Structure 1
Amino acid sequence: MMKAFVTHLLVLIGLIRSSLAQGDESPTVKLPGSLVHGIFANGVDSFYGMPYAESPAGLNRLKRPVKRTKPLGDFDATTIPPACPQGHFEAVDSDELWRKRSLNADSTLAKWHAAHPVHTSEDCLTITVQRPAGTKAGDSLPVLFMLTGFSFVIGTPYRYNATDFIKFSAEIELPFILVTANYRTGPWGFLPGQQVMKNGSTNLGLRDQRMSMEWASDNIAAFGGDPDKITLWGHASGGVSVLDHLVINGGNATYNDRKLFRGAIMSSGSLMPAEHIDSEKCNKLYTKIVKAIGCERKRDTLQCLREIPYSDFERATSSIPGALSAEALRLVYVPRPDNDLIRYSPEVLLNNNMFAAVPMILGNQEDEGTIFTQKQTSVNDTKPLSQYLRTQYFGNATKRNMEDFLKKYHKKPFEGSPYRTGDDFESWAGKKRLSSVIGDVFFTLSRRVAMEFIALSQPLLPIWGYHAAYDYRNGDSSAYGTAHGSFEAMIFGTDEYIASYTTRTARWYLINFVYHLDPNKKHTELVAWPKWTPDEPRMLIFNKTNNANMLDVHRKGNSKFMKKNIEKFRI
């Protein structure tokens, strides 16, 4: 007994010494002509801010990214680098017709961002790699490449601490490597207009993302990852980005004879039908920005936008109403068809089997629309709601189109979002109905339409769907319900989700998918997650204490209408 105790004690001392030594010795990785110094903390090695492209600042503003080929040399990757410039999303002076009545409405998300300022710079195209401590070249771990974002005006990957998620993977003996990258958002990354298209500067944010994926393909093996086992995960506008990467170049995701990714996860964002980048609406936006800056008389207005000081460019582009203004999701800086990177609106490409056919997971929160409907107090009946939707979002829809669609949404608050809360949270007439409509057209129904197009084009392709409802509390919940953004927070285990059943099981499913391209492998606690098919569209429900299955048929008539009239829902 004493001998066993001594042996155990010696092993324990050895583990402690090893841990201390690992903490004292910064992890390093050798890349061609470079030695990258990372930082060890709490069981995770992190390598921050490695540039994958040349600086897009100054005269390189609004130009395609240029791959960095010069070695990094002796590179310090121990501190979080600046994010790319982040767009605004609050109301502005031009926020009409609802500005006077609603400008000061509460915005929980805006308050969160105000309390968590982000250091930004135009010189921002960097990539970060995080791994379980001790991982080394040759370990060939699968890779989760995450695209973060909010409304394509925010794209920093540093909103959440990934340490617990990565440590969890090591504890369950399914360790993976997490990769995140900065990319240009807002007008820096998605400025539309004919002049932009002529210059070949379209969809720069997507081009940044694709170049960062190429960097990962070239270099992730040195960090202990397997370049043939990369899964994309996008949340919100990051999820829209993932779907766009499926259809870029008609579905060609090959680089140097290797697939850039083998699986895709889209959370709270997937299909976003969009007008062409040189449409009338897009050209008007471009002209407005050019005039706001004072470049309208220049022969080359785009070059003028490059030459002006950063502060002037930021000021002029911030004159456009933000994603949390009364216009809410009137998104203008988004990926758009450009006859180059994206030939047609994404739903057309999906429907014509012009996408990368990889196993996928797509899902939504139960109450996706609630955070975007806090300020539209004048949108209180069918006619103003129809006008609001056609004016701010869907210019291709006629009055008849929109009113026919809205007939399918009950005016009584007990059927609105946050769902299952009776008449609660109807702080002004029509609020819960509007939340349902916004949540459906931008998230839930568009996700279902995407899955139908994908499944019909590729009947044998495995796809899974989920519905998250873990923040539901009848009568006593917040006005947001299981809101947009909470899935990301839940996976990373923030606030009330720490050590929760939902976080634990959701992590298991995602990590299983990263390893096996199937969320159901290994672990008896997990409820079987059925594949989604058009004939039997079953989904997993993420609940607070026990997950379950459901049929993806709620508001089916609405999604049929949207699919049949999809061109009317292009933003």
Structure 2
Amino acid sequence: MKAIATLLLVLIGLVGFCLTQADEGPTVHLPGSQVLGILADGVDSFYGMPYAESPAGRNRLKRPVKRTKPLGDFDATTFAPACPQGHFGAIKFDEPWHKRTVNVFNVDSVDKADNFDSNLARWDAANPVQTSEDCLTITVQRPAGIKAGDNLPVLLMLAGYSFVMGTPYRYNVTSFIKFGADIEQPFVLVTVNYRTGPWGFLPGEQMLGSSNLGLRDQRMSMEWASDNIAAFGGDPDKIVLWGHASGGVSVFDHLVISGGNATYKDRKLFRGAIMSSGSLLPAEAMDSKKGNEIYSDVTGVLTPHFRPDLPHYKDSLQALREAPYSDFVQATNVFPGALSAEAMRLVYVPRPDDDLIRHSQEVLLKDNMFVPVPMIFGTQEDEGTIFAQKQTSVNNTRRLMKYLRGHYFHNISNSRMEDFLKNYHTKPLDGSPYGTGSEFESWVGRKRLSSVIGDVFFTIPQRIAMSLIASAQPELPIWGYQAAYDYRNNATSMLGTAHGSFEAMIFETDDYVSSYATKTTRRYLLNFLYDLNPNKRHLDLATWPKWTVEEPKLLKFNKSGLSTLLEVEGERGYTFMKKHLEMFRI
């Protein structure tokens, strides 16, 4: 909570600083447009340039439409509204679970912050910027003094949190951009607002014509970057995608979208991909039983039976598109947040639609239908700990089986799930956070649940994805890492090296300021951005081995050093999950 509070203060300070610039802002010329940015602390920023028409009003839940009208004289000196953000933590819409749970943190404070209004905008406690449905904008930032023709490599970042949040404004990126300039590897950073949650990933048969809208937004923003980034000093032929968490899953989806076609105007939209704490996410189809049930649960809230004050609509999709904003939000929040006691609910996620994503991701990989670009994959050592803080009743194998099957994996039988869980010992010594002995078992089964969640959603899918890619394209260079720089043995951290800490480390938040991990990892990533090889420059760094099927080696980022980790076939539940992956589709 201290980290969150500090982050809020930093971001609020940044908003104020943007409004009080002392230096003359930079200007960029686009066709028919002049864009005014802001110079602050050695970084030029151009905020909130629209890449698509507004998806608000009756355009809700429709495919994005590319903006073709010039921006004219455009003021890009302040943050644009972020897209509406779903709830990540526990709030009032998570009834009735919080009546049964003791010591749920932050419920009251989040409740007070979630005041929806009729102007289609609200203030989000976790994101201190205004949000609006009219939100499809892109931000470009670069070292001061960079100009058109400098042709710097471009890092296009997709932020994300469980596909219910995705604002790029959560971190102060200035230190990362200045770090690149200081080590003579300057780069242009692009961040994107795209629709998340039900606005971007509502499933159901009725959504097949407007499926995976968040991914379509992202792809359109990449096309904008391809067309315009040269004017900001970037090279459109040197764009590398980077995504964290659900942003990493998004990057992975862009590898397989349209059967692996990422060409736009005879140019590749990106030449490399970095996926942190998210990659392969097997999911049921848009029109599957589960997808249709989610859609029905949402639209049911907008029927006259539940809300007799609402008008009658000819169909449910029209009801969703025309409902007042506050009613739409209430309807789509029928599912608990990602940090609720019920589950890490992953309902609003990319799903196969026989269009943008033609088949399940692993099928496309096996069929060699993906963009063959150099890649980096990575996870934190303790990905599952933040998602296993309140499920105190999941304290034996029977209840764990019921929990996993009921909330996530409907396609797996009790016997199969029991076989899978045999890979996870009940002793706290073997659980996550790893390497902490019997510490932090605050309730029976907590560390076991943390291990399972970390593996089934992060570690094992990444390993499967790397294996399938390497098998299909043996010569394609890929690298993998595991981060363990927050390892504390019998000390103060019950989360270990948790989900989300990689992004915080890259942007030098709180404890990561001037840390060994930050300096080292940034240099590897910038090497990759420049040369599609993390080892090409800064030869004083330890060699990062390529990941191959024969030698599946990861680079392990420790608090004060580096080591090589060899992934072992069959480690925990890997072999079982790979063999029965279709049973683990959410």
- Establish whether TM, by shorter chain, passes 0.5: yes
Bigger mean CA offset, 553-562 vs 421-430: 553-562
Which of 153, 158, 162 is 2:169 aligned to? 158
Tell me, yes or no, if structure 1 residue 174 matches structure 2 residue 185.
yes
Q: What percentage of residue pairs aligned between the two structures are identical?
A: 70
What is the deviation of 1:299?
A: 2.7
Specify the alignment match of 1:16 in structure 2.
Answer: none
Tell me, yes or no, if structure 1 residue 52 matches structure 2 residue 51.
yes
* Residue pair 1:471, 1:477 contacting (<8 A) in 2 also: no
Specify the alignment match of 2:139 in structure 1.
Answer: 128
The equivalences for 1:1-400 within 5 A come to 24-91=23-90, 99-102=98-101, 104-106=103-105, 114=125, 116-197=127-208, 200-294=209-303, 298-400=313-415
Specify the alignment match of 1:6 in structure 2.
Answer: none
What is the deviation of 1:98?
A: 5.8
What is the deviation of 1:451?
A: 0.4
CA distance in 2, matches of 1:327, 1:230: 39
Q: Deviations over 1:50-71 (max 9, x none)?
A: 0000000010000000000000
CA distance in 2, matches of 1:428, 1:76: 53
CA distance in 1, matches of 2:531, 2:452: 36
What is the deviation of 1:107?
A: 6.7
Bigger mean CA offset, 281-290 vs 184-193: 281-290
* Residues 295 and 364 of structure 1, relative CA distance in 2, 3 Å threshold: farther
CA distance in 2, matches of 1:23, 1:93: 43
The equivalences for 1:526-545 within 5 A come to 526-545=541-560
* Residue pair 1:92, 1:320 contacting (<8 A) in 2 also: no
What is the deviation of 1:525?
A: 3.3
RMSD: 1.8
Q: Which amino acid aligns with 1:260?
A: L
* Residues 469 and 65 of structure 1, relative CA distance in 2, 3 Å threshold: same
* Residues 507 and 295 of structure 1, relative CA distance in 2, 3 Å threshold: farther
* Residue pair 2:379, 2:458 contacting (<8 A) in 1 also: yes
Specify the alignment match of 2:5 in structure 1.
Answer: none
* Residue pair 1:156, 1:182 contacting (<8 A) in 2 also: yes
CA distance in 1, matches of 2:569, 2:75: 51
CA distance in 1, matches of 2:26, 2:220: 25
CA distance in 1, matches of 2:102, 2:532: 46
What is the deviation of 1:248?
A: 0.2
* Residue pair 1:532, 1:538 contacting (<8 A) in 2 also: yes
What is the deviation of 1:567?
A: 0.2
* Residues 353 and 305 of structure 1, relative CA distance in 2, 3 Å threshold: same
- For structure 1, the 5+ residue unaligned runs are 1-21
CA distance in 2, matches of 1:402, 1:489: 34
- For structure 2, the 5+ residue unaligned runs are 1-20, 114-123, 306-311
Q: Which amino acid aligns with 2:562?
A: N
What is the deviation of 1:369?
A: 0.2
* Residue pair 2:302, 2:319 contacting (<8 A) in 1 also: no
* Residue pair 2:48, 2:80 contacting (<8 A) in 1 also: yes
Q: Deviations over 1:67-94 (max 9, x none)?
A: 0000000000000111000001334678
Q: Deviations over 1:254-286 (max 9, x none)?
A: 001000000000000000000000111111111
Instruction: Name the count of aligned residue pairs.
Output: 547
* Residue pair 2:194, 2:217 contacting (<8 A) in 1 also: yes
Specify the alignment match of 1:452 in structure 2.
Answer: 467
CA distance in 1, matches of 2:304, 2:479: 49
Tell me, yes or no, if structure 1 residue 402 matches structure 2 residue 413.
no
Give SS of 2:301's match: helix
* Residues 94 and 307 of structure 1, relative CA distance in 2, 3 Å threshold: closer
* Residues 540 and 412 of structure 1, relative CA distance in 2, 3 Å threshold: same
Q: Which amino acid aligns with 1:406?
A: L
CA distance in 2, matches of 1:401, 1:353: 29
Q: Which amino acid aligns with 1:187?
A: P
CA distance in 2, matches of 1:120, 1:526: 42
Which of 504, 510, 515 is 2:519 aligned to? 504
Bigger mean CA offset, 266-275 vs 519-528: 519-528
CA distance in 2, matches of 1:228, 1:295: 53
CA distance in 2, matches of 1:73, 1:286: 40
Specify the alignment match of 2:433 in structure 1.
Answer: 418
Q: Deviations over 1:509-549 (max 9, x none)?
A: 00000000000122143111000001101111111111111
* Residue pair 1:92, 1:319 contacting (<8 A) in 2 also: no
What is the deviation of 1:97?
A: 8.9
* Residue pair 2:88, 2:165 contacting (<8 A) in 1 also: no
Give SS of 1:229's match: strand
Q: Which amino acid aligns with 1:291?
A: G
CA distance in 2, matches of 1:295, 1:227: 51
Q: Which amino acid aligns with 1:267?
A: S
Give SS of 2:487's match: coil
CA distance in 2, matches of 1:89, 1:162: 22
Q: Which amino acid aligns with 1:154?
A: M
Give TM-score, length-normalised by structure 1. 0.93
What is the deviation of 1:99?
A: 4.7
Q: Which amino acid aligns with 1:444?
A: T
Give SS of 2:169's match: coil
